[in-house]
Structure 1
Amino acid sequence: MSSTDEQNRLSVFKTYKLYVGGKFPRSESGRVYEVSDSKDRWLANAPLASRKDARDAVVAARKAFGGWSGATAYLRGQILYRVAEMLEGRRGQFVREVADAEGLSKSKAAEAVEAAVDRWVWYAGWTDKVAQVVGGANPVSGPYFNLSSPEPTGVVAVVAPQESSLLGLVSVLAPVIATGNTAVVVASERAPLPALSLAEVLATSDVPGGVVNILSGRTAEIATPLAAHQDVNAIDLTGAGAELARDLEVAAADNLKRVLRPQPVDGGADWTADPGTGRLTAFLETKTVWHPTGSLGVSGSAY
């Protein structure tokens, strides 16, 4: 190709789409909004999700919940590790997107992306270990075994952090699905592009469609119907401002959703910090089983 042809060639701009049920639909309203970098330079048009898109995402998440929660913890760990492998393979793309989204130098963006990959691996490793940490045998008075084990809460709406476009997103999303929940994510309103690119990684990995659904647009417009939705079991308000978080918590009370109030996520100098298990246990329920000891206990099937 000659230099003249290169000068005359039109660039192919990337079309970002929502991620719902393992597919990439445009917003049902057809709306988009402009996304700019830290210097107010146009980067792309992102889909502007509607209330209908939010409802569709919940339907997809509910449909996927049975299969994902019923998978073995070991299998979930293998699938999450595959996501980390694919994130690593697209490291260069995410470095560029995070640098543009957060106004970071290429070196700082690279650190953030590497921390996000490491964070994903961290949670992948916890899938088959969390039950030993939060479950166990309980002492009781009587000839019984009393065993407690964790189970996923269900469909979790996640309001992703506004500033940390990839590491913050991974920090709130990975623990939700690692423990068997399915997720509807409201991406950062200001910097949604890394989240929408993460959807492409999820779609081409082994994560079943509907386990993660990612919406971009106005945070309040999308999060409000999710907080009030009767088929959403829990909501993480990390990326909601104080006033919006209060409104969402009130709406969530209608069907007694489990609510994780806004709290800091890792970032800046804290990128390499141990994230702990708090987010892993935030959306778990405890099932307790009683079973008689003795000969019945040996031959019984209550386990």
Structure 2
Amino acid sequence: MTDFRNLFDIRIKNYFRHHNHFDDLLSVILFNGRQDTRIRLIQYVPTVKSTVLLTTNETIERTRDHLTHVMIDGKHCYVGVEHQSYNDKTMFQRIMEYDYLDYLQQYHDYQDSHGKKKIKKIITIVIYYGEEDKWKGARNYEDMTMDAPRKFERYYNVRFMPLIEMAKLDESKFTNKDNYNLVKGLKMLYGKIAPDNDFKVSHEVACVLGALTHDKEIYNHIEQQKGDVNMGQYVLNISKKARLEGKEEGRKEGLHEGVINTLLQQLQSKFGKLSPKTIYQIQTSNDEQLHALTVHILNMNSEEDVMAILING
């Protein structure tokens, strides 16, 4: 079975590696397409981060979609973008980890340069391309916490995750033709506007939209085309069966995440706070590994037992 989520991830990351696509996207989502604000993309920053935690001296690694060094009206910062084709309830925590690692790496550079290499502030924006109208995951810690004393309201450190729903953007705000067609195509795909039989897009945009159809035949047809692709009604009016398959895949993903969350709660209740390495290993485990962990959970005596079962089965 074709892994459309992975396919979409590959396509969308490659699409926004083009500076003109990325600059135009930032202009619209940050400044509503205003031309009087100058955005200069200086460079793409490596997205695989491996660094050492200050408290435990433990090495951890994470990979984000895009991180760019930009200059806006003469001021420097980092802008990260994460692309999501489905609701991911762990997204907020992942963003916190990405930003923390990038700040930590900059902090090490700051220390090594004796304070000469200043730290750039970071914003990370999640862009949701899914069919469902509303993002259902948490966007800050506030969404997940119980009522707390109001006296300390201004002292709580609850970060906020900026989130953009791509299909709700106004395509007329984009100056880049590919970005305009991407948003318009999403709206056609999800039935927000009527399909246009003469709707032609670049091959790159067509492949991104094709990955979102969850239809192998349609995607293969698009991928084999050369030059511009007609994304008219015969392509965008996809079968009900394919849409249902995509939703069923999302349901299974939700069940998988539920098992992970339950296991984490049980293990933390048994062993106390888990190490980031153990949490990451559980979150990236497949169904077979999680099942083995569930079967043996009562017989475990330490985190080492958890890791042994996940690695050795």
Q: Flag the structure with more relative contact order, 1 or 2, with Cα contacts below 8 A and sequence separation at least 6.
A: 1
With normalisation by structure 1, the TM-score equals: 0.27
The structure carrying a bigger helix percent of its residues is 2
**If the length of structure 2 is used for normalisation, what is the TM-score?**
0.26
